[in-house]
Amino acid sequence: MGTLDDKRFLFVTGKGGVGKSTVCAAQALALASHGKRVLVVMCNAKERLSAMLGSQPVGADVVPVSNNVWAVNINPDQALDEFAVIVLKSRTIAKTIDSKYVRGFLRAVPGMHEWAMLGKAWWHTTEKLSSGSYKYDCVIFDAPATGHGLDMLRVPQVISEVAPPGLLRRFADDALGLFRDTKRSAVVLVTLPEEMPTQETIELAHALTNELKMPIGRVIINCVLPPLFTKEEREALGLLVMTDSTSPGEVAIESGRMRAMRERVQGESLARLSSELPVPPSYLPLLFEDACQPHAIAELAKRLY
C-alpha cells in the first residue's frame, strides 16, 4: 500500500456499511505506530470507535483512545456554538448573545451544519502546542456515507464562491487549500468487492477528481475473500442442478455454489476497481470474527503498511 505518513488530513468515505469506521480505526493505529499523533473525527455518529480500540466512550470533547491516538464525536450544535465564538472573536461578546439566536442565524446559511462539522475537523489541523509544533500530525475524518459526504465537501467551495469577505470565507478558502493539496491531504475511499459498492465507488471517485478537484490517496477494498476455487471449478459448480436440497451432500454443494458465485462477483469487482480508478486499490481481508474488537483492528492496522 502507498504510504499516507506525510498527510495532514485524511477524508475517509464510501458507501454505508463498507467499514469506513473500521478503516479509520486501523489507519489511526497504523500511523500512531510510526510515531504520528493522530486525531479521529466522527460526525455525530453512532460511536463504535471506543469498542474497536478498547477505550473510554468518545463524545463531543477530544479524548485519548490509544497510544498517540485521540478521538472526538462532533455534536453539530456544539460545533456551531464554537464557530460563533470564533466569528465573534470574543467569548465574552458571544456570551452576551443568546446562543439560540447565533445558531439560528448560522443555520440560515445553507450547508452550515455540514460546514460546522467539516470545518471543526479542519480547525483541528491548525491547532498547535506551546512548542509551536502541530498538536496532531494527522486528522482522520470519518465522513458520512457517499452522497452526504460529497455534499459536505461541496459546502466550503460554495462558501468560498458566494460568501462576502470575512472569517467565514477565509476559513473556507483555507480549508479548500488544505483539502486540494496533494502533499498534505488525501481522500481514502472504502468499498467492498461487490457490484453496487463498486459502481458507487467509481462514481464517487469521478466526482471527487473532476468536480471537487480533491486527490484520492488510497482505495481500500474491505472484506476480500481468499479464493477457494479456480475459474474452471466455479464454472462447474454453476452448472450443477440441485435435486435434494436437504441431503448433506446437496447442502455442501449449494454452499460451494454460493461461495463460487461470491468469488466470481468479487473477481469482477476487483477487476473494475483496478482498471477504472486513478490509484491501484489496496485490500483488507474478510475477518471471520467480530472486526469491532481491539485485536482485530490491530491486525488490520498491520496490513495498512
Domains annotated on the chain, with CATH: 9-229+280-303 (3.40.50.300)
At 186 the pLDDT is: 96
Question: CA 103, CA 113: separation in Å to the nearest integer?
Answer: 10
Count of helices and strands (H, E) across the chain: 12, 8
DSSP string for 45-96: ----HHHHHT-----SS-EEEETTEEEEEE-HHHHHHHHHHHHHT-HHHHHH
Q: How would you classify the pairing of strands 185-191 and 63-66?
A: unpaired
Quick one: which H or E segment has residue 43?
Answer: strand 38-43
At 248 the pLDDT is: 78
At 188 the pLDDT is: 96
What would the grid cell of residue 227 be? Answer: 479464493
At 1 the pLDDT is: 45
pTM: 0.88
At 180 the pLDDT is: 95
Q: Taking the alpha carbons of 273, 18, 255, 299 in that order, is the dihedral positive or negative?
A: positive
Q: Taking the alpha carbons of 91, 9, 38, 140 in that order, is the dihedral positive or negative?
A: positive
Residues of the chain with pLDDT under 50: 1, 90, 93-94, 96-97
At 14 the pLDDT is: 93
